Chain A
C-alpha cells in the first residue's frame, strides 16, 4: 500500500531549512530509499516517494510557516540539481502506476504554482547542477529560475530524443505557455538530449538568470529577499501544526473523523460520505488558529484528499465512487459564512486554497463520480461542490416512505461562486452552464436558500430527481450499468466532459500533455521489448515502429 502521509522528521530525500522569511528545500535523494524495489534513485532522480515528501513539504510550508515568503528549491548534491523521474522505475512500473505517478507529480507542481500565485510564498529555483527532464520541469513550476554558470550545468528536456516519451510533468506546456518560449526554440530545445546552458538559456527565456558559481549562493539569497519583499504573507503570525490525520483502514471500509468510506468490492463501488461538523464552531480568527488542523474545513479536506489519493493508487478496481454527505446543513452553512467573512486572514485563505486543490484533485480522478442527495444530507456551499464535481447526480424528490426525515435540500453559498475554481479557472457552476450566464445568476440569487429537488432540477443543479418509488431501482441501475462499461472508455469520456470552457495551463497539462503521454506510455516505441524505456541504461538501441499515427 502506498502511504501519502509523512512528516518532516521522516523525510529521506528532502531537507527543509528555514531562515527568517526564506525557506530552502534541498533535494538530496537517498538512492537506496526508493518506494519500490528494483531500482536505485541515482543522480537525484525521483519516484513517487520523493514526490510525496515534496508535496508534504509544500503543504507544511503554507500552514506551518506563515513567516516564509520565498522558497528556494535547490539540490544538496554537487553538480546535479535533479535528473527527473527515475527511468528504471518507469521501466518496471505498471501503466496504471506510471499514470498515477505522473498525475500526482503534476498536482504537486501545480500546488507549487498555487502557493506562488495565491499564498505569497514564491518558489524560485537555484539550479546548481544538471537539471534534466523532470528536474527542469520542477524548476518550471517555480516562478524564477536561476542557473549556475559553470559552463557545464545545463537544463534539458531529453525525453523525446532519449526515452521516446514526453516530459510528463508539464514541461512542454510550461515552456511555451508559462515562460513564453518561442515554439521553434522550444522545438529545438525539446529534441536536444544534452540541453542548453549559458547565455542561450537566458536569451530563449528558458531560465531567468545565469549566475557565476562563486556568487551563486549570495545571488540566490539576494533574489529570495527581493521576492520576499513583495509578499503579502502576514507578519508575526504563528503557524499551525499539520498533525497526522486519524485514519482506520479495514478490509471493506476506511474511517476518518469526517469522511467514511465503504467498499463493495464485488460491484467495484465506493460509497464515500462526508460528515458535517458537530458542536460549537470557531467563528473568530483566534479560535480558528487555536482549532488549527482540527478545524473542520481543513480536517475534512485533508481527509478527503488522503481518501482520493489512497483510492486512486491503492484501489484501482473500485471504479465508481458514490458521493454522499450526512449531518447538519446549518453547520456547513455556518462554516462557509466564517470562511467568507475571514477570507483575508492568512490561515482562512490557506484553508480555502486547500479546499480548492482537493476539489481539483477530485475533478481529475479517473473514476466515475455519482452524487446521491438524500434526506439527512448536507450538500451546502462547499459540500455542494461534490454534486457539481460528479458526472451525474440523483436527488430524492421528497422523503422516503415511512420516514420522518425532512426532504433533501441543496443550499448554495458564496463559496460556490469563485473561491473554488476548477483547473479551467471557472467555477463548477460556470462550467456547468457554460453558455448560460443568466442561470448562473439565478443560482447566485438563491445563495443561503434551501432548494428542494424540484427547484434544484429546474436550476439544473442535479441530473435526475426520482421519487421514493423509483429511487432505489433508478440509482441501482445507473450505477450497475456504469460498472459494466470499459474503464478506459469511461475515463476518457469523463475527462473530456468535465472541463468545458477555456483552456488553461493546467487543463492543457492534464487534458493534452498527459493524454498524449498516456498513449505514448502504451506504445511499443516506448514500452515494447525494443522500446526506449525498456532499453534505457542497457546501451542498446531502440527499434522504433516508423509509422506516424
Chain B
C-alpha cells in the first residue's frame, strides 16, 4: 500500500521520494501519535479546534486556518527554502559554503544541540496538558492548543533532522525524545525548567513569555548554524515561536489590565495581596511580580554557565552563532576580543572582561534579558495608563539561580547578596508562596461559553484570522 506522504505529512523536504526518511518516519510516527494521545492535551481528542496549520512555506501557506479534530492535525516538516549560495557567517569556517550534510567532526556536537532543543518541545506540551480543564475562555483554549500542536511540529522538525542526517544514532535519539517525560522521576526531560509543572494559566502565560523566549534565542542562534538544514528548520520555527511569545505577552498584559481595572473600579490603592484586588477575584500586581520573578529566574538558568567551553566550541566551529549574528559589527571570529560579564568576586558582583568566545552564552543571556524587558515596559504602560503607581521589574540575574556562579549565593531581586538566613526570612516576599499558588488555583474555573471570559483577565484586543472574540474557537462534540 502506498501512502501519500505529502497529504499525511505536509512537507517541503521531498518526503515522497526519500525512502530512507519514509522508513524512519513510518516507525516514529505511530509512536508520536501514541505519545500525543497519552501525554498531549488532556481530553482533547473529540474537540474541533480552529487551528492554523502550516501546509507550505509560501506566503499564505504557513497559516492555513480551519477547524481540525486535534488528533488529525497534520504535523508537517518545513524548512525555510534554501539559499544555495549561503555561506557560514562566523567561526573558523567563515566564508565557506554552508554544510548540506553533517560534517563528521561535528556530528556529536550537532546532535547534542538538536536533541537538547528538540527535547524542550514535547516537554512543554506535557507540562501544559492539564490546562485545558481550566481555560479562561475559548479564545485562550484555542491558543493553548495552537501552541501545543506547534510545539509538536517543532519536535517533528528536530526529529526530521535527526532521522535524515544522523543515521542510526539519530533514530535512537528520536525515540528517546518520546521516552523522556516532563517531571518523570526515572526519565526526566533534559533541562530542569522543563520538568516544572505549569499548574495554572498565570504560570502558563509567564512560561510562554519567559521560557518560550529562551526558545526564541536558542532557535535564533541555531538559525545561524553552518549546518544549513538546521539553520533553515530553526528559521521556520521562529515564525511560530513569535506567536507563542505573543500569547504570553498579551496574556500577562490582560491579567495586568484586569488587575488595574479592578483597582480603579473599587478605588483600591494597594497593589498587595492582602488588601488588594483579591476580594474581587483579581490577581494583585505584587503576585504577578512574584510569578514574574520565578519564571524569569528559572528561564535565565536555561542559558547555562556564564563561561562555557561548549558554547565557545559551538561558536568557533560554526555550529551555533550569536543572536542576529550577521547584524553584529565585529570580526565574527572572537579569537582576540573580550566581553564584559558580571562575575561574583567574594561578596560583590562586578563587571569583568573575559574572552568573548567563552562568553557566548552570557552574551545570549544579555540579549534575552534586554528582550524580556521590552514586554515589561509595555505592561508598565498599561499600569501607568490606568493611573496606578506601580512598576513591574525584572529581577537581577543573580536572583534565585540554580545554574552558574550565582547559584552559589543568595541575592535579593535587586542583586544585593544576602545571607541564607535573610533569604529564608524574605523569599516569600519575592517568590510565590503556597498561599499565592492556592489563590491562583482557586481562580482557575473553566469558561467555555463563546464570548465569555473569566473574572481575572480581560478579553484580548487582537483577533485570530480577523475573527471576533465571540467566535466559537473550540467546538465540543
Contact = CB atoms under 8 A, between A and B. Distances in A.
Interface of A: 149-152, 161, 192-194, 198, 212-214, 536-541
Nearest to A537: B309
B186 A214 contact: yes
B289 interface: no
Contact of A194 (B112, B180, B190, B314): B112
A328 B179 CA distance: 71
A198 B180 CA distance: 13
A179 B38 CA distance: 40
B108 A193 contact: yes
Interface of B: 92, 108-109, 111-112, 176, 179-180, 185-188, 190, 309, 311-317, 335, 355, 357-358, 360
A214 B316 CA distance: 39
A541 B316 contact: yes
A536 B309 CA distance: 8
Contact of B312 (A192, A198, A538): A538
A29 to B, nearest CB: 14
B190 A152 contact: yes
Given A149-B186, A151-B176, A539 B108 contact: no
Contact of B108 (A149, A152, A194, A537): A194
Contacts of A213: 185-188
A193 B310 CA distance: 12
Contact of A150 (B92, B112, B186, B355): B186
Q: Which 4 pairs across A and B sit closest by C-beta, in order of nearness? A: A539-B312, A539-B357, A539-B316, A212-B186
Nearest to A194: B108
Most B CB atoms within 10 A — which of A149, A152, A192?
A152
Please report whether the interface of chain A is mostly helix, strand, loop or mixed according to DSSP: loop
7 contacts: A149-B186, A152-B190, A212-B187, A538-B357, A539-B311, A540-B92, A541-B317
B190 A539 contact: no
Contact of B92 (A149, A214, A541): A541
A149 B180 CA distance: 11
Nearest to A150: B187
B357 A151 contact: no
Nearest to B179: A151
Contacts of A536: 309
B357 A540 contact: yes
A470 B415 CA distance: 80
Contact of B358 (A150, A198, A537): A537
Contact of A539 (B111, B112, B358): B358
A539 B186 contact: no
A161 B309 CA distance: 15
Nearest to B315: A539
A267 B112 CA distance: 57
Contact of B316 (A150, A193, A540): A540
B188 A150 contact: yes
Contacts of B176: 151, 198
B309 A539 contact: yes
A135 B311 CA distance: 22
A200 B190 CA distance: 20
A194 B335 CA distance: 26
Contacts of B357: 538-540
A214 B181 CA distance: 14
Nearest to A543: B92
B185 A192 contact: no
